[in-house]
A and B are shown apart, each in its own frame.
Chain A
Amino acid sequence: MATQTARHSTSLPISVSARRLVRHGLQRLNLIVVYALLLSGSAFFLFPLVWMVGTSLKTVEEVGRSQLHLLPETPQWENYDKLFHEEAFFRAYTNSIFIVTLVLIGTVISVSLVAFSFSRLEWKGRDVVFALMMSTLMLPYQATLVPQYVMFHKIGWIRTFNPITLPGFFAGGAALIFLLRQFMLSLPRELDEAAMIDGANPLQVWWYVIMPLSRPAVATISVFLFVGQWNNLMMPLIYLQKPALYTMPVYVAQKLNLQEVPLPWQDVMAASVTFVIPVLIVFLFTQRYFIKGISTTGIKG
């Protein structure tokens, strides 16, 4: 249909301009519809976050009322004040920061070492080991969860941070190794050959040549690790088992268990807001790494 109209109209200059006008108008309309959809989509995606912040500033009475008012009559900043003076909150927050930092350092260094070996070093058996590593991607974590628990129980590491932080030191996460390896493969070969000729050993090549060049990929895996660890609920839930060791996810989840009538949703939401802020900040500044990382490997954030 459209082509026929096009063929007929070539001979009539007036209808050409009319068509252009219609087309222009249609494009305009199209754009408006797209923006309307985008905006309503954004409202849907942002709403729970806004709601969380709104609730965290309400009074106990407002929380109990039916929920049509997004924002409180007067913001109750003392909800946060109360939270910041709570010892358990402070402990959980610092615990989380401690664990995430340690895991981040240990994992990034060990992962980059292994990725270096898989990409820049040539050794017999490398392909076999690499295939083995890729096959662990298929193994769901449930297969090892139970016996790992038994193992940690036997060496007395339940109710310590060790089961959460230390496994990361062993280059945990085949997907991360894969991501970094792919990046390192794309770096020109001549670089390390030149360094080798200058008498550098592989350790020096890794640290002085490859690592500085791999910064974008290292940033990507760090961001993934950070978000994954910060949000991690299951491992701390399984292994920590006592409030002094709780991390933020467990602390926030446990807030609901208090025997209060009515439930202090404003406190729960205040704790949630403080919990979400670091992740949001990191996400805002690093979202291009996220998008790149997911598009290349398809692993989940």
Chain B
Amino acid sequence: MKRVIILTLIVLLAGVVALPAGFAHPVEARQTTVLEIYITGLTEDTMNWFNDTLFPAFEAEHPGVDVQILTGGWGDFDVTVAGWITTGDGPDIIYLGSEYAATFGDLLMNLDEQFQGWEDWAQYLPAAIDTVTYDGHIRGLPLLMSPRPIFYRADLMADPEAGAPLTFADALEFMRANTVLEGGAAKQWAFMDIGNDLFDAQEFIGYIWSAGGTLYYEDGTSAFDSPETAEAMQYMYDRRRVMRPTEDTAGLPPIEGTALGSGMVISGIFPMWAMPATSDPLWNDVLIAPYPAGPNGSPLIQVFIDWLAVPAYVQDPTLAVEFLKFLGSQDNAIALKDVAGFTPVRQDAWDQIKAADPVWAKLLDITVEYGRAFSDIRASAELRPLIFEQMTLYLTDQQSLEDTQQMMKEEYDAILEDNGYLD
């Protein structure tokens, strides 16, 4: 009896060792091909549109294909994506921000061959094509354009006739005139940034540019010690001190609905999906304006071109590119604008949108006039936390402007060197 048990066990052990590999991976052995797409920061409606409208349509054209969407938050975005790309194990299509072509480079697949002869490229803005190109090769498809102007409630401004401020000095004047504090709490804020804590790393870079500065010197080292950077920092600091004279001032009460619609916020930087519907009469009184500028710079609007890339670890990119072409079609671009508020990157989608909607017409016109693409940010995943840490110290009065500039420059130079941007 005992011998029988032992014998069986030995046979079983041999069985485990000799198991065919294919049997151990049943998922791959299945007939359906799964196409995984990672898109971050979607609203529920947009998710539903992907799942209920777009994917079934694509699957109908490609039998045996199962398209699936993965989502996550913005908080972990860069690290999640970096994880997939460096470990070589992840979805077939990943969503990337404007500045990432330079960050990931050759870890993204060269798609020239797959996109060859696709006539729709003619419809894309040159800036958008630049955004998805690295080393002269196409790495993905631009998905949406997100111009980030400042919206003003002209009807609520202290001086409704004054118009939007276009210099740092005027903007500060505007902040003082339109902020209402009561005791230790805010009742009305002249301005609200996209992250609602009066500090955003991308916006900061925007002000460096509008002050006439750059992020890098000719030799590729960081220009955080430039006088233009100092101007941008000083502006953000002064603005914060208007709305939070001390760090223990409480922010605005909870806002019902959109921030600009609540009347508690006079101006701000918002994505279109966080704004009232364009049919709202409120829009009659909304000014759309660029970022204020320093004396040596000029006002600008940051344009983020988010795109979908195919990582280099994907075995066969044909299907992924098929899907990208399908998603990028004119009809789907317009549909995405309606569902998700994504501004299309295709110009042939614009005419229709402009004709249908005067608000979007205004937005697109001003974008063309002031737009500057948010790209060429080197080692952005490491830069963002650095800016965040240092600028928070500066803005909360814990570190001087000079020390902050110095720290940012020193540490960013070290990061650039680590990542091979400097020789």
A159 near B43: Cβ-Cβ < 8 Å: no
Using A243-B71, A257-B72 as known contacts, say yes or no to A65 and B256 having CB atoms under 8 A apart: yes
A61 contacts the other chain (Cβ, under 8 Å)? yes
B315 contacts the other chain (Cβ, under 8 Å)? no
A257 near B75: Cβ-Cβ < 8 Å: yes
B114 contacts the other chain (Cβ, under 8 Å)? no
A277 contacts the other chain (Cβ, under 8 Å)? no
B347 contacts the other chain (Cβ, under 8 Å)? no
- 29 A-B contacts, Cβ less than 8 Å apart? A61-B256, A64-B254, A64-B255, A64-B256, A153-B87, A158-B87, A241-B80, A241-B83, A242-B36, A242-B70, A243-B71, A244-B68, A254-B73, A257-B41, A257-B73, A258-B44, A258-B73, A259-B42, A259-B43, A259-B74, A259-B273, A260-B43, A261-B258, A261-B259, A261-B273, A261-B274, A262-B254, A262-B256, A262-B257
Q: State in angstroms the CA–CA spacing of A259 and B73 once bound together.
A: 8
Considering the complex, which residues of chain A in the window 22-81 have a beta carbon less than 8 Å from any beta carbon of chain B? 61, 64-66
Provide the residues of chain A in CB contact with B42, threshold 8 Å. Answer: 258-259
Considering the complex, which residues of chain B in the window 229-272 have a beta carbon less than 8 Å from any beta carbon of chain A? 253-259
Interface code A261-272, partner B: CB below 8 Å = 1, 0 otherwise?
Answer: 110000000000
Binding site for A on B (CB under 8 A): 2, 36, 41-44, 68, 70-75, 80, 83, 87, 89, 91, 253-259, 273-274
Q: State in angstroms the CA–CA spacing of A194 and B273 once bound together.
A: 76
Considering the complex, which residues of chain A in the window 121-175 have a beta carbon less than 8 Å from any beta carbon of chain B? 153, 156, 158-159
Q: State in angstroms the CA–CA spacing of A153 and B86 once bound together.
A: 12
- Per CB-CB distance, the 8 closest pairs between chain A and chain B, nearest first, are A257-B73, A64-B256, A259-B41, A261-B274, A64-B254, A242-B70, A243-B70, A259-B43
- Which secondary structure dominates where chain A touches chain B? loop
Q: How many A-B residue pairs have CB under 8 A?
A: 52
Q: State in angstroms the CA–CA spacing of A260 and B43 once bound together.
A: 6
> Whose C-beta in chain A lies nearest to the C-beta of B91?
A242
Provide the residues of chain B in CB contact with A65, threshold 8 Å. Answer: 254, 256
Q: State in angstroms the CA–CA spacing of A258 and B256 once bound together.
A: 17
Q: How far is the CB of A246 from chain B (nearest CB, A)?
A: 10
Provide the residues of chain A in CB contact with B36, threshold 8 Å. Answer: 242
Other 17 A-B pairs with CB < 8 A, given A254-B72, A261-B258, A262-B256: A61-B256, A64-B256, A64-B257, A65-B256, A66-B253, A153-B89, A201-B2, A241-B80, A241-B83, A242-B91, A243-B71, A244-B70, A257-B74, A257-B75, A258-B43, A258-B73, A262-B254
Considering the complex, which residues of chain A in the window 234-249 have a beta carbon less than 8 Å from any beta carbon of chain B? 241-244
Q: How far is the CB of A158 from chain B (nearest CB, A)?
A: 6
B254 near A66: Cβ-Cβ < 8 Å: yes
- Which secondary structure dominates where chain B touches chain A? loop
Q: How many residues of A contact B (CB 8 A)?
A: 21
Q: How far is the CB of B253 from chain A (nearest CB, A)?
A: 7
Provide the residues of chain A in CB contact with B87, threshold 8 Å. Answer: 153, 158
Q: State in angstroms the CA–CA spacing of A257 and B2 once bound together.
A: 58
> Whose C-beta in chain B lies nearest to the C-beta of A86?
B44
Provide the residues of chain B in CB contact with A159, threshold 8 Å. Answer: 89
Provide the residues of chain B in CB contact with A66, threshold 8 Å. Answer: 253-254
Q: State in angstroms the CA–CA spacing of A65 and B254 once bound together.
A: 7
Q: How far is the CB of A274 from chain B (nearest CB, A)?
A: 18
Q: State in angstroms the CA–CA spacing of A3 and B408 once bound together.
A: 74
Q: How far is the CB of A85 from chain B (nearest CB, A)?
A: 11
Q: State in angstroms the CA–CA spacing of A256 and B41 once bound together.
A: 11
> Whose C-beta in chain A lies nearest to the C-beta of B87?
A153
Q: How far is the CB of A125 from chain B (nearest CB, A)?
A: 21
Q: State in angstroms the CA–CA spacing of A66 and B73 once bound together.
A: 26
> Whose C-beta in chain B lies nearest to the C-beta of A201?
B2
Q: How far is the CB of B380 from chain A (nearest CB, A)?
A: 20
Q: State in angstroms the CA–CA spacing of A49 and B246 once bound together.
A: 35
Q: State in angstroms the CA–CA spacing of A296 and B271 once bound together.
A: 57
> Whose C-beta in chain B lies nearest to the C-beta of A267?
B44
Interface code A199-220, partner B: CB below 8 Å = 1, 0 otherwise?
Answer: 0010000000000000000000
Provide the residues of chain A in CB contact with B256, threshold 8 Å. Answer: 61, 64-65, 262
Q: State in angstroms the CA–CA spacing of A91 and B225 once bound together.
A: 51
Q: State in angstroms the CA–CA spacing of A257 and B259 once bound together.
A: 19
Provide the residues of chain A in CB contact with B273, threshold 8 Å. Answer: 259, 261
Q: State in angstroms the CA–CA spacing of A242 and B83 once bound together.
A: 13
Q: State in angstroms the CA–CA spacing of A259 and B47 once bound together.
A: 11
Q: State in angstroms the CA–CA spacing of A173 and B62 once bound together.
A: 49
Provide the residues of chain A in CB contact with B43, threshold 8 Å. Answer: 258-260
Between B2, B254, B258, the greatest number of chain A beta carbons within 10 A of the residue's beta carbon is seen for: B254
Q: State in angstroms the CA–CA spacing of A284 and B291 once bound together.
A: 58
Q: State in angstroms the CA–CA spacing of A258 and B46 once bound together.
A: 11
Provide the residues of chain B in CB contact with A243, threshold 8 Å. Answer: 70-71
A262 near B89: Cβ-Cβ < 8 Å: no
Considering the complex, which residues of chain A in the window 83-115 have a beta carbon less than 8 Å from any beta carbon of chain B? none
Q: How far is the CB of B84 from chain A (nearest CB, A)?
A: 8
Q: State in angstroms the CA–CA spacing of A251 and B72 once bound together.
A: 10
Provide the residues of chain A in CB contact with B257, threshold 8 Å. Answer: 64, 262
> Whose C-beta in chain A lies nearest to the C-beta of B76?
A257
Provide the residues of chain B in CB contact with A256, threshold 8 Å. Answer: 73
> Whose C-beta in chain B lies nearest to the C-beta of A243?
B70
